[in-house]
Amino acid sequence: MERDSRRGYGRGAFSRGGSYSRGAGRRGGGNSGAGGGGGGGGSFGGLAPRGGGGFKPGANARREGGGPGRGRGGGGGGGGGSWRGGASRGRASRGRGGSAGRGAPGRSLRGGSRVLVEPHRLPGVFIVRGKEDALCTRNLIPGDTVYGEKRVSVEAVDPNTDEKRKIEYRIWNPFRSKMAAAILGGIERFPIGPGTKVLYLGAASGTTVSHVSDIVGASGVVYAVEFSHRSGRELVALAQRRPNIVPIVEDARYPARYRMLVPMVDTIFADVAQPDQSRILAMNAAYFLRTGGYFMISIKASCIDSTAAPAAVFASEVENLQKERFRPLEQLTLEPYERDHAVVIGTYRVPPKSKP
């Protein structure tokens, strides 16, 4: 291979997969500019990848890749991969493409004597004590995973038969569920428990709905409303495995369209992220929420007014709820799990106290 001693790069830098790194002085050194990144040899068809790795002067580009770059291209893995699909002889890639997708199957944590599950102060919620504590719910359908969450199995003694049996719990990720974020944030009231009838507005694909299904148990029901047909298909598939979920693919702005499917409920949880979400909650409460029932609403400040401060948006929404005969009892921000989000919990149509 020819080499130019003045510039510090050779003609081999442009061969199969080797990226151009001007002035790489050390062995495997990446370009410190915008093109730093992956190794020299792993590309297909002789084209260097975007942000490719640096080039060692005098090295064969098919055998030795550059080191990780320090620029905008991001650090990559070692070079040496075969450009025609053969086995890689370099170091393993450390790029972004190696992470598992959202649909990966859930993994079971090691249970038994190593893991302790304690009941939370809120009914139907549990805490896994182990190397890292985590929030969880008791799996209504053992062995079933919804969004690739981890599972914990522990042994418990049946008080009726004195026999040991395994109980499975599902880890509840607060970064993917605003309800879990509110629980970990320390809410005092949680109007969902075993046997509760819940109307869930904005169910999406059923991530949080599945945990609510665990909490209410076989004696409770979750009426899940979702407008998106794509998410609605996943919600219907979830309901086929969980008998206490009633999927409703409809616009929550028009509760009259599904009034024949939903009876009076104990709690409404709203996570619709719309500018008129308080009005949507009020219309559904007028149809389905019993007198003295509870509501929970997740407020995203940027969806209502992106120019105002989040605290001002939250205060405005609380005033709107009060005008609709709601009585807010508790407000909590969801930091650090969600940015500029808050949860408001309260009651609906509370009868006035009778004078003695």
216 and 157 housed in the same domain: no
Model confidence pLDDT, tens digit, residues 134-190: 999 999 999 999 999 999 998 877 666 777 888 999 999 999 999 999 999 999 999
In a domain, 268, yes or no: yes
Does residue 199 contact residue 266 with C-beta atoms inside 8 Å?
no
In a domain, 295, yes or no: yes
Angle of helix 207-216 relative to helix 229-241, nearest 10 degrees?
Answer: 30
* % of the chain residues with pLDDT over 70: 66
In a domain, 248, yes or no: yes
4 and 78 housed in the same domain: yes
| Helix boundaries (H) for the chain | 178-185, 207-216, 229-241, 277-288, 301-304, 310-323
Residue 90 domain boundaries:
1-99
91 pLDDT more than 50: no
116 and 254 housed in the same domain: no
In a domain, 353, yes or no: no
In a domain, 354, yes or no: no
Phi, psi of 345 (to 5 degrees): -125, 140
114 and 13 housed in the same domain: no
In a domain, 356, yes or no: no
Average model confidence (pLDDT) across the chain: 76
Assign residue 131 the CATH number of its domain: 3.30.200
184 and 330 housed in the same domain: yes
In a domain, 91, yes or no: yes
The pLDDT value given to residue 131: 80
267 and 334 housed in the same domain: yes
Terminal Cα-to-Cα distance of the chain (whole angstroms): 100
The pLDDT value given to residue 353: 66
* % of the chain residues with pLDDT over 90: 55
354 pLDDT more than 90: no
152 and 204 housed in the same domain: no
Domain boundary among the residues 64, 99, 134 is at 99
How many domains are there within the chain? 3
Average pLDDT of the residues in 18-45: 42
Residue 17 or residue 204, greater confidence:
204
133 and 61 housed in the same domain: no
166 and 70 housed in the same domain: no
Average pLDDT of the residues in 71-92: 44
Domain boundary among the residues 44, 71, 99 is at 99
Domain boundary among the residues 46, 77, 99 is at 99
The pLDDT value given to residue 160: 66
The pLDDT value given to residue 151: 93
Tell me which residue of 182, 187, 189, 191 sits closest to 289, measured CA to CA: 191
Assign residue 255 the CATH number of its domain: 3.40.50.150
In a domain, 5, yes or no: yes
